[in-house]
Amino acid sequence: MRVLDRFDAAVGGGIEQAMIHHHMRRMRRHGQLRAVAPATPGLWAQTGAPPRMGNSMELLIDGANALPRMAEAIRGAQRHVHVCSWHLEPDFDPGPRKSTGVRELLGEVAERVPVRVIVWAGAPVPVFQPRRGAVRPARERLVRGTKIQCQLDSCTRLMHCHHEKLVIVDDELAFVGGIDLTTLAGDRYDTNAHEYKEEIGWHDATALLRGPIVRDVAAHFAMRWEATAKEAIELPTDVPAAGETEVQFVRTVPEGAYRVLPRGEFSVLETYVRALRSAQRLIYLENQFLWSPEIVHILETKLRNPPSPEFRVVVLLPHRANNGQDDTRGMLGRLVAADDGRKHFLAATIMSRSGEKSGPLYVHAKIGIVDDEWLAVGSANLNEHSLFNDTEVDVVTCDPALARATRETLWREHLEREDASGDPTTLIDEAWHPIASEQLERRRAGAAMTHHLVKLPGVSRRSRRLLGPLDALVVDG
């Protein structure tokens, strides 16, 4: 087994290095090398739109907090509603339960203002969901008998998708995050308590934005709408200030997808590279995947040579990702090895729970927090799909108060405690690690869980490293 492990690690490591060099050459060829290897200091991305002053940014954690706010904003539209979704089901209920489906909601608003919807056209080959054969009938159900305008966007590479999730109302407010208007793969409507239910629960997040940053979100939608509908959308000359938070719009748009961005844009990658390299005390990540060699290399380097005694890395991931499961585990094996028993690193997940009943809960949030100084939320996963090939949108702020407040809100939820303030290193050592380890042991013993939080099983030095790089080589190209 040791020989096989060494072979697996050697081959996997070789493919990872080949992928990193491939992306370096690709970025250099298209004049985007700064995105993967920033040469200047600072947290803000230099390859996209500049950060905007004068915004409000509110983090809405989980569907029960986010979806009703989206529905309320849509109902109040005075000029237009614009929606981007990876997948959209006409009957999806944005809540609360037994209320109004998306088709009825958007159709009612479309009677008085333009409603424009962009949805990924679906997978052209029967490898991923949703398939094109299912997306087209869903579009027809959405628009039939309504004034809703809906475009299916197929401007992607063969094995990739349009993944961003946006709702823009009157170019005055925008939702940017990870929540799609669908039940495909799981129920998006879930509470912070994540009570046990028969179907899989869903942990996610979105940002509600007001102020000048909304214009950048609106311009991105306008670019995609013009490319698919051949209709130009007028943008506001400026959006008045709505707060005091500085926010940056970052995205992934692969080269060649849209005529106006022939070289693409990779500012999501750049902002994560900048932030993770800068980390001195804390890296906290919630994500559906963690199998980008570029990102894992930074984390691995930090763990081998901690920048401070307080330095800790916590990643919250799904118990079983809908794809890329072995890939993520292989990368986690590298991070466990780099930590070398110091317990500066923890990979955990959360489960739905009510009393002695517990069940699966899908971690779909895409949140990054570094040193309580940098915060990112959006649609981008930490894999090669999201950082190089799918279309993605995140928003970033360097507001320490908001970054810390967001972390404390998330930690109150995951640690099931009323107060998550205080030193993050102490909380990780005295709460995260003991709780997660105890719950893993209870699961292994067949005992009822007493907490949502559980250490990810199978994360060890022998975790497989080969499948992640192979997937990246075949799919991410």
pLDDT for res 15:
72
Do 325 and 463 share a domain, yes or no? yes
Q: Are residues 86 and 104 in the same domain?
A: yes
pLDDT (average), residues 297-317 = 97
Amino acid at 274: R
SS in 3 state form for the chain? CHHHHHHHHHHHHHHHHHHHHHHHHHHHHCCCHHHHCCCCCCCCCCCCCCCEEEEEEEEEECHHHHHHHHHHHHHCCCCCEEEEECCECCCCCCCCCCCCCHHHHHHHHHCCCCEEEEEECCECCCCCCCEHHHHHHHHHHHHCCCCCEEEEECCCCCCCCECCEEEEECCCEEEEECCCECCCCCCCCCCCCCCCCCCCEEECEEEEEECCHHHHHHHHHHHHHHHHHCCCCCCCCCCCCCCCEEEEEEEEECCCCCCCCCCCEEHHHHHHHHHHHHCCCEEEEECCCECCHHHHHHHHHHHHCCCCCCCEEEEECCCCCCCCHHHHHHHHHHHHHHHCCCCCEEEEEECEEECCEEECEEECCCEEEECCCEEEEECCCECHHHHHHCEEEEEEECCHHHHHHHHHHHHHHHHCCCCCCCCHHHHHHHHHHHHHHHHHHHHHHCCCCCCCEEECCCCCCCCCCCHHHHHHHHHHC
Whether 208 and 279 map to the same domain: the answer is no
Domain count, the chain: 2
Q: What tokens appear for 434 in the block? A: 């003991």
Residue 232 has pLDDT above 50, yes or no: yes
Of the chain, the percentage scoring pLDDT greater than 70 comes to 89
Residues 316 and 450 in one domain: yes
Residue 66 and residue 32 share a domain = no
pLDDT tens readout for residues 40-89: 999 999 999 999 999 999 999 999 999 999 999 999 999 999 999 999 99
Q: What is the mean pLDDT of residues 386-413?
A: 97
Q: Which of 17-26, 91-100, 171-180, 408-417 has the lowest mean pLDDT?
A: 91-100
| Res. 325 pLDDT band, cuts 50 70 90 | very low
- 300 and 229 within one domain: no
| Domain CATH for 131 | 3.30.870.10
CA angle 306–33–259, rounded 5-degree value: 135
pLDDT of 326 > 50? The answer is no
Q: Are 228 and 241 in contact (CB under 8 A)?
A: no
Percent of the chain with pLDDT over 90: 75
Residues 20 and 74 in one domain: no
Contact partners, residue 295, CB within 8 Å, separation at least 6: 272, 273, 276, 382, 387
**283 lies in which domain range?**
2-49+249-476
Q: How confident is the model at residue 315 (pLDDT cuts 50, 70, 90)?
A: very high
- Shared domain for 188 and 212, answered yes or no, is yes
pLDDT band at residue 182 under the 50/70/90 scheme: very high
Least confident of 115-119, 180-184, 406-410: 180-184
Q: 119: closest CA among 103, 97, 98?
A: 103
pLDDT on residue 269: 98
Same-domain status, 97 and 191: yes
Query: 164 with 16, same domain?
Result: no
CB of 78 closer than 8 Å to CB of 109 = no
Does residue 466 have a pLDDT over 80? no
- Domain end, chosen from 181, 209, 241, is at 241
The predicted pLDDT at position 430 comes to 98
What pLDDT was estimated at residue 348? Answer: 96
Q: Among the three residues 206, 241, 276, which one is the final residue of a domain in this structure?
A: 241
Q: What are the tens digits of pLDDT across the range 6-47?
A: 666 655 666 777 778 888 899 899 999 999 999 899 999 999
76 with 112, same domain: the answer is yes
Instruction: Please give the mean pLDDT across all residues of the chain.
Output: 90
Structure tokens at 357: 């009943």
- CA distance linking residue 365 with residue 288, whole number of Å: 7
Question: pLDDT category, 440, cuts 50, 70, 90?
Answer: very high
- pLDDT in the model for residue 202: 94
Residues 80 and 101 both lie in one domain: yes
The pTM assigned to this predicted structure is 0.94
Among candidate residues 217, 241, 265, the one where a domain is terminated: 241
